[in-house]
A and B are shown apart, each in its own frame.
Chain A
Amino acid sequence: METLSSLGDGFAIALTWQNLGLALLGCFLGTIMGALPGLGPSNGVAILIPLAFTMGLAATPALILLTSVYYGAMYGGRISSILLNIPGDEPAMMTCLDGYPMAQKGMAGEALSLSGIASFVGAFLATWGLILLAPQLVKIALLFGPAEYFALFALAFMTLGGVSSTNQAKSAFAAALGLGLATIGVDTQTGVPRFTFGEVHLYDGLDFLVAIVGLFALSEVFIFLEHHRGGSEATAKKLKIGRLTPPLSMIKQCTPTMLRTSFLGFLAGVLPGAGASLGSFISYSMEKRLVDKEGTFGKGDPRGVAAPEAGNNAAAGGALVPMLALGVPGSGTTAVLLAVLLSLNITPGPLLFANNPDVVWGLIAALFIANFMLLAMNIPMVGLFTRLLMVPSRILMPIVAMVSFVGIYGISGSSFDLLVMIGFGVMGWVLRKLDVPLVPVILGTLLGNTMENNLRRAVEIDNGNWWTLFSSPLALTLWTIAIIGFLLPVIIGRRVKASMHKREDEQGAIID
């Protein structure tokens, strides 16, 4: 009951003209970002963060804008999967499997609108899941002391590589690199400068927005330069949309699929590190095993489009649960959103629900609104979005690069930050070549200081006894999950990744 009245207050905040306008803008920009191959939700949000700051928005409107971008990008990813057989982002990979064959059969419009509906169902149910689960998680989180928080952060890092990276050593390397970068600057407890090499600009530490925009957006530009990808006109000319509404029988046929996979995707999203890619992968695999009696999956079965779309959008909602309730993001994009919150001087975690209920509930209400907007936008406006796919990357990427520069310069006004950003861009390119995941790097720079402070506080409280980190049952449980989460992918991760890649190879047309 209390939840419902809080949600009501949230709607009162979200339904102002300014916030509605921002949600609409975010949904529109997000869908474009998601639809363009190569620019996923994390890129989309990273590029638009500076925009939110330069508009001088308060915390709630800024968050509404950026989460609308997030949801929009999750919706948009499917468009190029279906039309071009190129996933707009990683979670949309599985949508290619049946979406593209449907398009080849002349059912592109139906596939697009059905996937829009599936995205809506997944995201809608996940938002309810968020409402029900997050406050419960907050109650548990209130039992956390510094030692438990330290263990929780360790858990987040150890499960982050998860099944999405085959090489746990590289995930660990990435996390350590990020945490190491976070230690640059003046130590908050003692006031001693660390790793600054006398450079005054580094006394405040590295700005994680600079790191994020460099690692995600600029490294993307370098990847494009490497392949000299001129444009996509050749493929885009072939697009034909066809009818835009799926027959009722198709929706009926897909309804059980959408409900099952929403649930599954939500769970995948809540688990730290798993995220939307895993959500869409297990959703598709489960549905195939469950309902594919005639072997039509992979040949343009509508259920094969509905399953991964409901799954990945539900996972996007699920990933917000640990981010808001614990301050530990469940995916790359929520890590970027966490960075935004921290920059706005809002610390997610249990206290957020007590201290800033307007932020939390305004945001949740905005998610509902964004969802309806996206549904309304995605069915009639699919034609417009598909035309945007035809903007060749040789025009698009320079714009992306310059907007990134402007955004960072607009926040700090310093050339030094731009140089640091270029450095991160190059680093991101090298790490991607080496198959080192970028998300742990971001998360490390983001959470490093909090993690260290919790460590020091925990040991301090217990008069220098380091065993205090493992002394409470709660901390021990977290450590156990962390170790299992780290070791499990070493054992089964290769198999999951191999089958994900096998499906990719079967399709054969996926870039990178």
Chain B
Amino acid sequence: MTDRIFGLFGILLAIGFVMAAFAIEESFLSDVVGPKAFPLIIATVLGVSSAVIALRPDPEPVWPPLGRLAEIAAAVLVMVLYAELLPVVGFVISTAFAAGYLAWRLGSRPLEAVLVGVGTSVGIYVIFHLVLGLSLARGPLGF
């Protein structure tokens, strides 16, 4: 079932790709082939391979239970927040939180998670910023 859905999704993707390709504006500079031809070739390969996947599906993969999926979704959310907050609160604080969260969700006890978070953050700060001179995001506290 998974592969049938995946194949259908792939076909839709290919159709979307074709439509977007036709929407590309031609410039007056255009060469013989133009900017549309290659995307159209790719869309064809995408569509045909998706159709084959839908028609000849592999055995069902093992999907994680809902709780585990929620776990991954939460991690993604934390990472997105991390990316957004990095320029606001600075590198050291946001990294400590993100690394600590991941350590906790991977099975660390709370104290260990805090240590992993702070250790990772400070360790990276020292090696990458102080030793290698990489500029990391600066927060309101100056680090």
Q: Indicate if the CB atoms of A401 and B102 lie closer than 8 Å.
A: yes
Query: Is A393 located at the chain interface by the 8 A CB criterion?
Result: yes
Query: Is A426 located at the chain interface by the 8 A CB criterion?
Result: yes
**Chain B: interface size category:** 35 or more
CB neighbours of B102 from chain A (8 A): 221, 225, 397-398, 401
Which one, A55, A167, A398, contacts B117 given CB within 8 A? Answer: A398
Given contacts A177-B46, A230-B107, A402-B124, contact A419 B83 (CB under 8 A): yes
Query: Is A345 located at the chain interface by the 8 A CB criterion?
Result: no
Q: Indicate if the CB atoms of A393 and B64 lie closer than 8 Å.
A: no
Selecting from A106-114, A364-372, A403-411, A477-485, the interface stretch reads A403-411
Alpha-carbon separation in the docked complex, A194 to B18 (Å): 12
Which one, A183, A187, A225, A392, contacts B72 given CB within 8 A? Answer: A225
Query: Is A415 located at the chain interface by the 8 A CB criterion?
Result: yes
A-B contacts at CB below 8 angstroms, number: 195
Chain A count of residues within 8 A CB distance of the other chain: 66
Query: Is A231 located at the chain interface by the 8 A CB criterion?
Result: yes
Q: Mark B17-56, 1 if CB is under 8 A from A, else 0.
A: 1001100111101111111011100110110111011001
Q: Indicate if the CB atoms of A399 and B107 lie closer than 8 Å.
A: no
Given contacts A225-B75, A398-B116, A418-B86, contact A192 B39 (CB under 8 A): no
Task: Please report which residues of chain A, range 190-237, place their CB below 8 angstroms from some CB of chain B when the two chains form the complex.
Answer: 190-192, 194-195, 218, 221-222, 224-231
Which one, B29, B38, B75, B91, contacts A183 given CB within 8 A? Answer: B38
* Main SS class of interface, A: helix
CB neighbours of A435 from chain B (8 A): 58, 61
Q: Least Cβ distance of A384 to chain B in Å?
A: 19
- Residue on B nearest A222 in the bound complex, by CB: B72
CB neighbours of A452 from chain B (8 A): 38
Given contacts A173-B46, A222-B72, contact A409 B86 (CB under 8 A): yes
CB neighbours of A422 from chain B (8 A): 76, 79-80, 83
Alpha-carbon separation in the docked complex, A401 to B103 (Å): 11
Query: Is A169 located at the chain interface by the 8 A CB criterion?
Result: yes
CB neighbours of B27 from chain A (8 A): 190-192
Q: Least Cβ distance of B86 to chain A in Å?
A: 6
Q: Indicate if the CB atoms of B39 and A395 lie closer than 8 Å.
A: no
A sample of 13 cross-chain residue pairs with beta-carbon separation below 8 angstroms, ordered by A number, consists of A54-B128, A191-B29, A195-B20, A225-B105, A226-B71, A228-B107, A394-B103, A402-B121, A410-B134, A415-B83, A422-B83, A452-B38, A464-B32
Given contacts A456-B31, A460-B31, 10 further A-B contacts (CB under 8 A): A172-B48, A176-B45, A180-B43, A192-B25, A394-B107, A401-B99, A409-B136, A422-B83, A455-B38, A456-B32
